[in-house]
């Protein structure tokens, strides 16, 4: 086999290896271990990140730094080089400085695989990669060396589920304009003759993918950046980033200080540590793990057109590189490094000795897939450390802690595929304040401080790299970093059989399962929800039972993870602020609830929230869980200067436990626990009251459920939470109260055609597009953010429209389900994608929410009207199979035994219902299980 290895069974023995590092670091380590007092060593092991001082700072180096620069980029790797290049393209080259503590591009070639590929899990990531690849091609066409070769990528599947994932990817890719093909095993072998087809079910071929040399691409960016006027200084380290009034002011370097307006942290491996160089600290949650690349000696006859091959189920990849094979992979559990938090400063010290014992599983998979590699000669196994974020996604955007401080990091070994797109969108954000893609899934504001906890990162990032090659199942959950944020009623929910999901670190029940809920000692078992299929999920029956309870009796759900803010002021300033931030009119009677968006200047949703007016000068905001950091950033950044000292905004998410009771008997139940009159006349729908419940007081009760069902959400001070929960659950026994999880409430809101931010709404979706124009008050006395854009859209017409689709002839027992991201076809032409999908337990059909567009024959977008939407014949493509669908534009009134006029009058999507029966195409039918007739006007 390999000349340097001897294999015995599954064990790998290696010749003794020398540990190597730079002489200076080697001496420092010996000095530390032999002469330092143990107590001092423990202190220093927790020291802050200290950049290296330039060894011999000459006047020439000091003179290279300008006194002032509009933008300072820290990091001369491929991402920093791309940002510099794109700022130069934007005309900011003469005002941009890039500093690198070592040498631009690094000193160690091939510390990345060099794949320039489009296979990404989301539209945003795919488009960023697509732009990057096109840019690399253009640089190569202009004569700059990049190492670009369009060899294509061959992606192998060993299981039916993997092939299903490939079919889903193909459906999405074709809709997004990316060419790819599903292959049989024999066709896979035609693309790469080296392969053994043992265990292969098929593959996905992406012909437009290619390979390149990341170091050459980085140098090409740098050459172009310099041509465009960017100043680049090597061997210069950032010591501190100074801010003033919450904005970047200057940077302090080993070669002097530089005043600047913007700072961009593109330090990759060191991004988290560079974040500590400012006050306040910018939290960049990244953790270093070992990552190996195997290089062979040149192989005779190896074709330079060998595709980039990924065997996802074997967790390996390989490619041809300068006549030899470069291979690697992603272990199921990564090996941590720098557990003490002390990060080396040089690229050389970042290179660790290879760990053959850790790599052997990937080596076995590689030899299984390409048996001929057994005859190859090993050149080296490199251990080039890489950093990963807690959710295995890239990290982009403006830091929540300091305005004009931008971060681009966590590219998880795929920096070359991401670099061009990241450079472009960061440049857009810096120079224009917005960009051409919705970035919320990658934005650094998706994290909380807990995600930057070093021990949390050590726990989570063992698992994160392995996710890179796993099947992207619906609702996939991490197994690590759990039991972190829990509501006070968490133990009771676990005892009740909760199976948990995690959002923003919060454990919330996804559904309840009474089977196997105790461990061998009789204690409640902590269970993590798993779907692990693209068809009918294992939790289907549990959710069906919870759904029925919410519609026919009483369900009780934990909403504690929702984002909760309090706004208040001494005068009327809080009203002025919210009128400016929100598109709806918030100056309503005390006790009212306002559902409103916070729009950006283009009219898109930065936040979608409910505001309860607690008093004349006090509001409570309820927003999606993932908005906890993001909303505060937006509010602080856009608060007018004259209001900053007068309006208080507090994140009270962790102060209140939120319990929702929903169902037709919820009013009766709550009435038994409070002395307050809850009749509709006294406590109508969409209003707020502060109640005594049980023996507790100060309970903020909102007469909404966010699902369209009857009910209330109780925001309870944490010290009362267990008491109130116990009283509700005990009193609800006579109504056969039942716990309900997130999956059940999600199913309810999908059927009711309710849009949620982060799933249906994003920064590019406007209220006019999603049927909420009636929530936009253009005649408010204060000009709100986004008003002009929405007025223009109202005049010109919307270019896409939010719709509900019900699949016909779809068998939920055997057919693949919709899970979001399915292409929508109108009269055989692609017109949009689904956003949120699920099974409608009343419709007894798959229900899809999504957006429909109108394209002419040349691909140009035209306005979308109700007539256009309703006149088409629709299909939804699910993993390559198209199902006929019936379209709906309005929130339906679902058949119920418990009609409620208040709620029937309220429609979350579009305020003038005018739709036919959704359950049938004609005639009188009955809704199964209810006996209620429908004649075309009942929904």
Say which CATH number the domain at 608 has: 3.30.70.1400
Domain C-terminal end among 358, 387, 416: 387
Q: Which segments within 411-535 are labelled E, that is strand?
A: 498-503, 506-512
What's the CA gap between 879 and 534, in Å, rounded?
A: 9
pLDDT of residue 2: 45
In a domain, 199, yes or no: yes
Chain mean position to CA 673? 40
Residue 296 lies inside a defined structural domain of this protein: yes
Identify the pLDDT of residue 914. 38
- Domain-located, residue 39: no
For the stretch 334-344, pLDDT in tens is 999 887 767 77
In a domain, 647, yes or no: yes
Say whether pLDDT at 9 is over 50.
no
pLDDT at position 108? 60
Same domain, 374 and 264: no
* Rounded (10°) CA dihedral 236, 240, 246, 250: -50
Predicted confidence (pLDDT) per residue in 515-528, tens digit:
999 999 999 999 99
Give a yes or no: residue 555 inside a domain: no
Burial class (CB in 10 A: 0-12, 13-18, 19+), 211: buried
Model confidence band, residue 411 (pLDDT cutoffs 50, 70, 90): confident
Same domain, 815 and 899: yes
Q: Is residue 544 part of a domain?
A: no
d(CA 554, CA 733): 10
Q: Are residues 150 and 225 in the same domain?
A: no
pLDDT at 351: 76
CATH code for the domain in which residue 257 is found: 3.50.50.60
Total domains in the chain come to 4
At 245-255, the pLDDT tens digits run 999 999 999 99
Read off the pLDDT of each residue in 715-724 and give the average, rounded to a whole number: 98
Strand partners, 650: 566
In this structure, are residues 834 and 805 in contact, taking their beta carbons and an 8 Å threshold?
Answer: yes
Q: Are residues 583 and 626 in the same domain?
A: yes
Closest to 52 measured CA to CA, from 100, 87, 8: 100
Residue 311 pLDDT more than 90? yes
CA neighbor of 119 nearest in space, from 130, 134, 135? 130
What three-state secondary structure class fits 618? strand
Beta bridge mates, 806: 847, 886
**Dihedrals phi, psi of 442, to nearest 5 degrees:** -110, -10
What is the tens place of the pLDDT at every residue in 373-385?
999 999 999 998 8
pLDDT digits 0-9 by tens, 135-144: 999 999 999 9
Q: What is the pTM of this model?
A: 0.91
Do both 77 and 196 map to the same domain? no
Q: 726, 711 in Cβ contact below 8 A?
A: no
Longest dimension (CA), the chain: 90
pLDDT higher at 928 or 628: 628
107 pLDDT band (50/70/90 cuts)? low
Edge-to-edge strand list for the sheet holding 647-651 = 593-599, 605-615, 618-623, 563-569, 647-651
Q: Give 83's pLDDT tier (boundaries 50, 70, 90).
A: very high
Q: Count Cβ atoms within 10 A of the Cβ of residue 519 and give its class: 0-12 exposed, 13-18 middle, 19 or more buried.
A: exposed
Domain containing residue 303: 146-210+289-387
How many degrees, rounded to 5, is the angle at CA 624 between CA 658 and CA 468?
A: 120
pLDDT, mean of residues 582-597: 98
Cα–Cα distance measured from residue 387 to residue 457, given in angstroms and rounded to the nearest whole number: 11
Structure confidence at residue 50 as a pLDDT band (50, 70, 90):
low
Is 250 within 8 Å of 123 (Cβ atoms)?
A: no
State the angle between helix axes of 415-431 and 78-89 in degrees (0 to 180), rounded to the nearest 10: 40
Residue 394 has pLDDT above 60, yes or no: yes
Q: What is the mean pLDDT of the chain?
A: 89
Report the pLDDT value the prediction gives residue 18, as an integer from 0 to 100: 29
Task: Indicate whether 381 and 409 sit together in one domain.
Answer: no
The Cα 897–Cα 810 span in angstroms is 27
Assess whether 627 and 575 both reside in one domain: yes
Residue 716 neighbours by CB under 8 Å, 6+ apart: 656, 657, 658, 659, 693, 696, 699, 700, 724
Q: Are residues 233 and 196 in the same domain?
A: no
pLDDT digits (tens, 9 = 90+) for 878-921: 999 999 999 999 988 788 877 777 666 667 787 654 333 322 22
Confidence tier at 580 by pLDDT (50, 70, 90): very high
- Average the pLDDT over 780-809 and give the result: 96
pLDDT in tens, 423-477: 999 999 999 999 999 999 999 999 999 999 999 999 999 999 999 999 999 999 9
Tell whether 200 and 236 lie within a shared domain. no
Question: Over the range 656-665, which residues count as b (16 or more CB within 10 Å of their CB) and which as e?
Answer: bbbbbbbbbb
DSSP 815: S
CATH number of the domain enclosing 357: 3.30.9.10
Contacts of 844 (CB under 8 A, 6+ apart): 928
Is 224 found in the same domain as 314? no
Count CB neighbours of 155 within 10 A.
26
Residue 223 and residue 205 share a domain: no
Residue 874 lies in a domain: yes
Whether residue 906 contacts residue 680, with contact meaning beta carbons closer than 8 Å, is answered with: no
Q: Rounded CA gap, 934 and 924, in Å?
A: 6
Cβ(233)–Cβ(98) under 8 Å?
Answer: yes
Cβ–Cβ under 8 Å, residues 397 and 439: yes
Query: In this predicted structure, which of 106-110, 232-236, 273-277 has the lowest mean pLDDT?
Result: 106-110
- CB environment 672-697: b (16+ within 10 A), e (fewer): ebeeeebeeeebeebbbbebebbebe
Q: Which of 417, 387, 354 is nearest to 148 (CA)?
A: 417
pLDDT score recorded for residue 60: 57
35, 613, 663, 762 from 599: Cα distances, Å: 60, 20, 32, 10
Burial of 304 (C-beta count, 10 Å sphere; 0-12/13-18/19+):
exposed
Mean pLDDT to the nearest integer, 619-638: 98
Please say which residue of 446, 471, 487 terminates a domain.
446
User: Which has the closest alpha carbon to 847: 822, 830, 872, 868?
Assistant: 822
- Mean pLDDT for 201-219 is 96
Whether the Cβ atoms of residue 458 and residue 473 lie closer than 8 Å to each other: no
Indicate if 179 and 259 belong to the same structural domain. no
β-sheet bridge partners, residue 351: 384
Report if residue 538 sits inside a domain: no
Mean pLDDT is highest, among 8-22, 37-51, 783-797, for 783-797
Angle between helices 573-581 and 628-638 in degrees, nearest 10: 110
Tell me the C-alpha distance between 304 and 823, whole Å.
Answer: 36
**CA–CA separation, 427 and 90 (whole Å):** 8
Element (H, E) at 926: strand 925-926
Residue 563 — left, alpha, or beta (φ > 0 → left; ψ -120 to 50 → alpha)? beta
Question: What is the three-class DSSP state of 257?
Answer: strand
Which helix (H) or strand (E) is 161 found in, with range?
helix 160-175
């Amino acid at each position: 086999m390999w000349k340097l290895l001897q294999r015995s069974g599954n064990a790998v023995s290696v010749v003794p290896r020398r540990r190597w590092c730079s002489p200076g670091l080697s001496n420092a380590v010996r000095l530390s271990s032999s002469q330092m007092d143990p107590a001092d060593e423990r202190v220093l092991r927790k020291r802050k990140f200290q950049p290296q001082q330039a060894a011999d700072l000459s006047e020439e180096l000091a003179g290279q730094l300008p006194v002032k620069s509009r933008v300072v980029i820290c990091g001369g790797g491929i991402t920093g080089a791309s940002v510099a290049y794109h700022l130069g393209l934007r005309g900011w080259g003469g005002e941009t400085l890039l500093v690198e503590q070592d040498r631009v591009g690094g000193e160690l070639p091939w510390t990345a695989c060099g794949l320039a590929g489009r296979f990404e899990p989301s539209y945003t990531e795919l488009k960023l990669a697509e732009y990057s690849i096109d840019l690399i091609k253009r640089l190569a066409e202009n004569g700059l060396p990049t190492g670009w070769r369009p060899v294509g990528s061959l992606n192998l599947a060993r299981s039916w589920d993997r092939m299903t994932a490939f079919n889903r990817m193909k459906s999405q890719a074709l809709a997004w304009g990316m060419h790819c093909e599903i292959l049989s095993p024999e066709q896979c072998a035609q693309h790469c003759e080296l392969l053994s087809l043992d265990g292969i079910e098929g593959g996905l071929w992406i012909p437009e993918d290619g390979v390149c040399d990341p170091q050459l691409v980085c140098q090409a960016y740098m050459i172009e950046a310099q041509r465009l006027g960017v100043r680049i200084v090597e061997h210069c380290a950032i010591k501190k980033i100074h801010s003033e009034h919450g904005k970047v002011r200057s940077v302090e370097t080993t070669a002097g200080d530089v005043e600047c307006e913007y700072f961009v942290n593109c330090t990759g491996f060191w991004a988290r540590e560079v974040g500590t160089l400012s006050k306040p600290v910018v939290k960049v949650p990244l953790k270093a793990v070992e990552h190996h690349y195997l290089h062979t000696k040149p192989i005779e006859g190896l074709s330079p057109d060998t595709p980039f091959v990924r065997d996802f189920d074997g967790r390996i990849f390989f490619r041809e590189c300068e006549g030899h094979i470069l291979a690697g992979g992603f272990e199921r559990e990564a090996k941590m490094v720098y557990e003490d938090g002390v990060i080396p400063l040089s690229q050389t010290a970042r290179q660790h000795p290879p760990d053959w014992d850790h790599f052997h599983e990937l080596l076995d998979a590689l030899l299984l897939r390409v048996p001929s590699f057994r005859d190859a000669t090993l050149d080296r196994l490199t251990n080039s450390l890489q950093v990963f974020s807690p959710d295995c996604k890239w990290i982009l955007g403006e830091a929540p802690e300091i305005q004009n401080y931008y971060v681009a990091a966590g590219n998880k070994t795929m920096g070359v595929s991401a670099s061009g797109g990241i450079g472009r969108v960061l440049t857009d954000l810096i120079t224009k304040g917005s960009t051409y893609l919705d970035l919320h899934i990658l934005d650094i504001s998706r994290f909380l401080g807990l995600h930057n906890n070093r021990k949390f990162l050590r726990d989570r990032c063992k698992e994160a790299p392995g996710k890179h090659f796993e099947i992207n199942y619906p609702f996939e959950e991490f197994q690590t970093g759990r039991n972190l944020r829990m509501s006070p009623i968490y133990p009771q929910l676990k005892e009740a059989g909760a199976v948990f999901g995690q959002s923003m670190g919060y454990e919330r029940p996804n559904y309840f399962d009474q089977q196997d809920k105790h461990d061998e000692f009789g204690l409640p078992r902590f269970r993590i929800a798993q779907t692990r299929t693209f068809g009918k999920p294992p939790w289907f029956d549990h959710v069906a039972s919870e759904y029925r309870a919410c519609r026919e009796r009483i369900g009780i759900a934990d909403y504690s993870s929702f984002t909760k803010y309090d706004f208040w002021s001494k005068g009327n300033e809080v009203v002025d602020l919210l009128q400016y931030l929100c598109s709806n009119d918030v100056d309503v009677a005390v006790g009212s609830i306002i559902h409103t968006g916070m729009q950006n200047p283009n009219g898109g949703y930065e936040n979608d929230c409910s505001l309860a007016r607690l008093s004349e000068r006090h509001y409570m905001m309820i927003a999606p869980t993932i908005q906890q950091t993001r909303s505060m950033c937006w509010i602080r950044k856009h608060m007018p200067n004259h209001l900053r000292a007068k309006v208080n905004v507090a994140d009270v998410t962790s102060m209140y436990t939120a319990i929702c009771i929903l169902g037709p008997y919820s009013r009766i139940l709550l009435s038994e626990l409070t002395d307050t009159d809850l009749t509709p006349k006294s406590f109508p729908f969409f209003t707020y009251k502060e109640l005594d419940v049980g023996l507790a007081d100060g309970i903020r009760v909102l007469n909404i459920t966010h699902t369209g069902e009857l009910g209330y959400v109780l925001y309870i001070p944490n010290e009362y939470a267990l008491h109130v929960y116990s009283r509700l659950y005990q009193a609800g026994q006579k109504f056969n109260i039942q716990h309900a999880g997130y999956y059940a409430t999600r199913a309810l809101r999908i059927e009711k055609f309710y849009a949620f931010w982060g799933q249906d709404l994003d920064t590019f979706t406007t209220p006019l597009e999603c049927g909420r124009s009636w929530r936009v008050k253009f005649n408010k006395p204060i000009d709100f953010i986004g008003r002009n854009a929405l007025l223009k859209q109202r005049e010109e017409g919307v270019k896409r429209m939010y719709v509900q689709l019900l699949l016909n002839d779809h068998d939920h027992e055997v057919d693949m389900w919709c899970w979001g991201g399915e292409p929508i076809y109108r009269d055989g032409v692609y017109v949009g994608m689904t956003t949120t999908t699920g099974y409608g337990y009343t419709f007894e059909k798959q229900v899809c929410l999504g957006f429909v567009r109108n394209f002419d024959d040349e691909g140009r977008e035209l306005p979308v009207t109700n007539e256009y939407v309703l006149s088409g014949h629709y299909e939804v493509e699910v993993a390559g199979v198209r199902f006929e669908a019936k379209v709906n534009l309005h929130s339906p009134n679902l058949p119920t035994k418990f009609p409620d006029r208040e709620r029937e009058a309220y429609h979350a999507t579009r305020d003038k219902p005018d739709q036919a029966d959704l359950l049938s195409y004609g005639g009188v039918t009955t809704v199964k299980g209810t006996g209620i007739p429908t004649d075309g006007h009942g929904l």
